Amino acid sequence: MKWPAFGYARATTLGDVWRLQAEHGEGAKLLAGGQTLLATLAYRLSEPGILVDITRIEALRGIALSDGVLRIGALTRHAELGQDALVARHAPLLAEAVPLIAHPAIRNRGTIGGSLAYADPAAELPACVVALGATVVLASAGGERRVPAEAFFTGLLATALRPGELIAAVEVPVATPATRCAIVEVARRTGDYAMAGLAACLVLDGGRVGAARLAFFGVGDGPVLARLAMAALEGRALDAGAIAAAQAALAGDLDPPGDLHGPPEMKRHLARVLTARALARFRPASEMAA
């Protein structure tokens, strides 16, 4: 199928974006990495009046550390996340997720802002920012507003973005010496979307779980924060009993739809398996041997 006819404009400042949006309204569609947008155009799932190319806007670029927060510009490409020293040190979960995202050609073009804006329920980065307790910074002609990542994803391919807004950056609390994070997934082939996945972040305090955030992907309409499983872990030593309790609690957290990969019960089974795999990585080697 051929693309629909549309106009094209390159914005070099945020002011250009606000002007073009005012002129074209909902017919203006933003183009960053384009790795999802171009596919929707090919299938006529998106028919914009004009594409607004934002790739030259410097205000949306850069990775910087300030006051215990790592700010990642929305135009940061996946490959840059995987190579940046600040990300590796202060938000290693994001760096670990990068090799799981599609293929090198897509990682070289796709952006973190684009991934969050399109909110694919099987994508890795939305779950990662939820697990990290990040904040999504939204910009419009009226200024900026901040939305917690767990409130940003509102449904299937739906977000808290309002008309006239774009994602400017993601702000991630920096990891501490007590922070442990991991991402695991099951996919049919390397580069495929995940059949099920888990981004997990724990704070370990004296051998016990002080706090836990378990964000599943590929098992719902968006990232699913498994609050019952998190509660089953908190305050406990991270032993086999705690992991089993978290697995059992997933029955109340997850209500996955069936899809081309399999029925809901298969998704629940994969979620339990991934929970054990992720949490086992945080257990001391001496306990694993026991």
How does DSSP classify residue 100? G
pLDDT digits (tens, 9 = 90+) for 176-221: 999 999 999 999 998 898 999 999 999 999 889 999 999 999 999 9
One-letter amino acid for residue 232 of the chain: A
Residues listed for the chain: 290
Quick one: tokens of 60? 């949306």
What's the CA gap between 260 and 262, in Å, rounded? 6
Q: What is the pLDDT of residue 71?
A: 98
Quick one: tokens of 232? 């089953």
Same domain, 28 and 99: no
Q: What is the pLDDT of residue 128?
A: 98
Q: What is the pLDDT of residue 41?
A: 86
CATH code at position 35: 3.30.43.10
Tell me the pLDDT of the chain averaged across its residues.
Answer: 94
255 found inside a domain = yes
CATH code at position 128: 3.30.465.10
Helix axes 264-280, 240-253, angle to 10 degrees: 150
* pTM of the complete model: 0.95
Structural domain tally of the chain?
A: 3
Which residue's structure tokens are 């992907």?
217
Q: What is the pLDDT of residue 38?
A: 81
Q: What is the pLDDT of residue 223?
A: 98
Q: What is the pLDDT of residue 289?
A: 44
278 found inside a domain = yes
Q: Residue 151 contacts by C-beta under 8 Å, 6 or more apart in sequence?
A: 160
Q: What is the pLDDT of residue 287?
A: 56
Q: By 3-state DSSP, what share of the chain in percent is helix, strand and coil, each rounded to 5? A: 40, 30, 35
Return the biggest CA–CA distance within the chain: 66
214 found inside a domain = yes
Please state, in angstroms and as integers, the Cα–Cα distance from residue 68 to each residue in 10, 212, 220, 238, 273, following that order.
Answer: 34, 19, 32, 27, 34
For the chain, which residues score pLDDT lower than 70? 1, 284-290
288 found inside a domain = no
The answer to whether residues 197 and 216 touch, using CB atoms and an 8 Å cutoff, is yes
